């Protein structure tokens, strides 16, 4: 995870001060990229504690296609990653439904994209292309539906907006484009989440996990996270852990369950707390 730490240092040294919708303010850089080879270990942050169970349950929630925060809590009751965004969503004009719906968020777009002629399960179609035509350049999942990102349509427009698979020499790689990158709180979760998704898809397609390539547009550190970032940068990272996925002969992306996954030999420094900007 030295790539991630180097990016934090780069933003501190070269970033520009910008205002943002939360009112907190950021130091921001535009257009960063990092590559994480799965042969080097699983890219879990070690200079603070990765909230592994929250990350894992969120990913399984996305994969399920659900729009409902209650379904997330069923996977892992202590997941609080979306609580703030849901509470903010309920305060918006016209939002009186407290049934748990978050609108057309990530998983809905991944699994049920609204088209003119039909709805599309983008994730399943991308996986089928990996199997049937691994040289295809169309193995794409797009979460950014411009018609469904208005404040009344969704609790939070997708930050990690687009990803694409690539197959070469028996290895599966994944590139993700992220429009908005909360470098302290969000990005370590995003890195781990997409690395895990890569492992899951590789498992069911019979390929070896390759690289996760993370392309970031607006990569920013919130001003109220600066002390936490400096604390994190003062720590020496530990060796990366490994990921174990229980072999239950999973055939589809929907076959994975929470208890299938374990981090092996994960050593980390203590948690560094900071408030999420909503």
Chunked into runs of 10 residues, the chain (278 residues) has average pLDDT values of: 96 96 94 98 98 98 98 97 92 80 96 94 99 98 96 93 99 99 98 99 99 99 96 97 97 98 98 82
**Nearest alpha-carbon partner for 147 in 178, 104, 117, 100:** 104
DSSP conformation letters of 225-265: GHHHHHHHHTSPPPPP-EEEE--S---SGGG--GGGEEEES
Is 159 labeled as catalytic in the residue annotation? Answer: yes
Write out pLDDT tens, residues 66-109.
999 999 999 999 999 999 999 999 988 877 677 899 999 999 99
Residue 74 has a CB neighbour count (10 Å cut-off) of 15
Catalytic residue selected from 29, 159, 181, 268: 159
Q: pTM for the whole thing?
A: 0.96
User: Angle, nearest 10°, between helix axes 226-233 and 2-14?
Assistant: 130
Write out pLDDT tens, residues 76-87.
999 999 999 999
Cα–Cα distance between 218 and 181 in angstroms, integer? 6
Taking the CA atoms of residue 34, residue 38, residue 41 and residue 46 in that order, the dihedral angle to the nearest 10 degrees is 30
CATH level 3 topology of 2-264: Thymidylate Synthase; Chain A (3.30.572)
């Amino acid at each position: 995870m030295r790539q991630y730490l180097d990016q934090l240092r780069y933003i501190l040294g070269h970033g520009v001060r910008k205002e943002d919708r939360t009112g907190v303010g950021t130091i921001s850089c535009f257009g960063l990229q990092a590559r994480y080879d799965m042969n080097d270990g699983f890219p879990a942050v070690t200079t603070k504690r990765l909230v592994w169970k929250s990350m894992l349950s969120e990913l399984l929630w996305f994969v399920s296609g659900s729009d409902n925060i209650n379904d997330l809590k069923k996977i892992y009751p202590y997941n609080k990653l979306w609580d703030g965004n849901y509470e903010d969503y309920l305060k918006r004009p016209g939002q009186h439904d407290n049934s748990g719906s978050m609108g057309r968020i990530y998983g809905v777009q991944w699994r049920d994209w609204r088209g003119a002629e039909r709805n599309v399960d983008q994730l399943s179609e991308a996986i089928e292309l990996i199997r049937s035509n691994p040289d295809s350049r169309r193995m794409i999942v797009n979460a950014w539906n411009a018609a469904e990102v208005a404040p009344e349509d969704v609790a939070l427009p997708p930050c990690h907006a687009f990803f694409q698979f690539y197959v070469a020499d028996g290895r599966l790689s994944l590139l993700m484009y992220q429009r908005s990158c909360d470098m302290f709180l969000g990005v370590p979760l995003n890195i781990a989440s997409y690395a895990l998704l890569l492992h899951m898809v590789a498992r069911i397609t019979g390929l070896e996990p390759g690289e996760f390539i993370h392309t970031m547009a607006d990569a920013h550190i919130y001003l109220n996270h600066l002390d936490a970032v400096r604390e994190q940068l003062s720590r020496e990272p530990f060796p990366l852990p490994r990921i174990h996925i229980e072999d239950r002969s999973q055939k589809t992306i929907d076959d994975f369950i929470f208890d299938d996954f374990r981090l092996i030999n994960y050593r980390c420094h203590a948690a560094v707390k900071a408030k999420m900007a909503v």
